[in-house]
């Protein structure tokens, strides 16, 4: 049964106020719930098809994080002890701070990054108080309203941190390899300008790491030099064939990092099918 057929069946069940396998009529309130869930499923699919929207990315990152936590169908060597997935808001906070220090349309002046007051919210990420990855959602409305309280993990427990970054309306994935002092870039639409565009990350992240206590916890001498950005080899790239699927490809890159059942070469799933998979897996975490 296709997605539309699946959603239509739920809507039909809601209109009849009954559930076929039970063979009896149920409360109208449950019928309303089925109709609402069917409409929400359609909405998830639509959002996952709209390209660079945050609407489907963070919820699917939460799904991948829970898979990482469960240890089910992971690549050898991948676990919560080796990889830490962050939500897309982290990079958004970096860009906001960057734009404050580098306002547009003014004479270019040198910036002393050492005097930058690292926002508390960024420190909370390093300390593990953010992101608030949720338990399985108790209602569909949690998809819109946010996750139920559950903390992330401190960066001190793992030196490989996955970030999803919206760079000038384009989604990319960055893997912070803190011990190697390097950022690995996964980009589905490579551009020679991407390293420059990621400067808020490469210049600010050393100060965020230091302020968050990472270096002290690791007994490592402080360093504040730029963390270089290095693209993955061309043969490993997943290249989008349009200009609006970058968010889907960002999800693909992260799933390829962790999942043993995801193609490990440059081959990839059908994009439209993957969009539907995103919607269904998000939806599967509602009750």
Question: CATH code at 58?
Answer: 3.40.395
Domain presence at residue 285: no
pLDDT of residue 109: 74
Domain presence at residue 231: yes
- Provide the residue range defining the domain that includes 124: 53-270
Domain presence at residue 232: yes
Number of domains observed in the structure of the chain:
1
Q: What is the DSSP string of 43-102?
A: HHHHHHTSSS-HHHHHHHHHHHHHHHHHTTTBPTT-STTT-EE--THHHHHHHHHHHHHS
Q: How many residues are recorded in the chain?
A: 287
pLDDT of residue 108: 67
pLDDT tens column, 251-260:
999 999 999 9
Domain presence at residue 147: yes
Domain presence at residue 28: no
- CB-based contact 177:160 (threshold 8 Å): yes
Rounded to two decimals, the pTM is 0.77
pLDDT of residue 210: 93
pLDDT tens column, 3-32:
444 444 434 444 444 333 333 333 333 344
Domain presence at residue 13: no
**What residue ranges of the chain have pLDDT lower than 50?**
1-38, 45, 47-53, 135-149, 287
Question: What are the backbone angles phi and psi of residue 152, rounded to the nearest 5°?
Answer: -80, -150
pLDDT of residue 269: 82
Instruction: Say if residue 131 is preceded by a cis peptide, omega within 30 of 0.
Output: yes
Domain presence at residue 25: no
Domain presence at residue 30: no
């Amino acid at each position: 049964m296709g997605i539309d057929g699946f959603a239509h069946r739920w809507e039909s069940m809601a209109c009849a106020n009954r559930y076929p396998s039970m063979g009896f009529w149920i409360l109208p309130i449950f019928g309303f719930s089925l109709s609402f869930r069917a409409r929400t499923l359609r909405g998830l699919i639509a959002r996952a098809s709209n390209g660079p929207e945050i609407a489907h990315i963070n919820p699917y990152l939460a799904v991948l994080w829970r898979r990482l936590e469960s240890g089910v169908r992971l690549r050898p060597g991948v676990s919560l002890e080796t990889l830490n997935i962050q939500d897309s808001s982290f990079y958004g906070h970096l860009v906001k701070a960057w734009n404050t220090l580098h306002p547009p349309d003014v004479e270019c002046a040198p910036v002393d990054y050492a005097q930058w007051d690292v926002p508390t919210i960024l420190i909370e990420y390093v300390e593990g108080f953010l992101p608030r990855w949720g338990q399985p959602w108790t209602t569909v409305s949690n998809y819109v309203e946010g996750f139920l309280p559950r903390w992330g993990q401190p960066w001190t427990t793992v030196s490989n941190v996955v970030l999803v970054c919206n760079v000038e309306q384009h989604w990319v994935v960055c893997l912070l390899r803190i011990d190697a002092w390097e950022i690995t870039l996964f980009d589905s639409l490579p551009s020679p300008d991407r390293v420059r565009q990621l400067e808020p990350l490469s210049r600010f992240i050393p100060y965020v790491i230091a302020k968050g206590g990472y270096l002290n916890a690791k007994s490592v001498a402080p360093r504040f030099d730029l963390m270089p950005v290095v693209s993955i080899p061309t043969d490993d790239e997943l290249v989008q064939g349009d200009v609006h699927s970058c968010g889907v490809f960002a999800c693909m890159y992260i799933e390829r990092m962790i999942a043993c059942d995801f193609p490990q070469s440059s081959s990839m799933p059908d994009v439209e099918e993957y969009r539907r998979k995103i919607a269904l897996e998000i939806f599967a975490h509602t009750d």
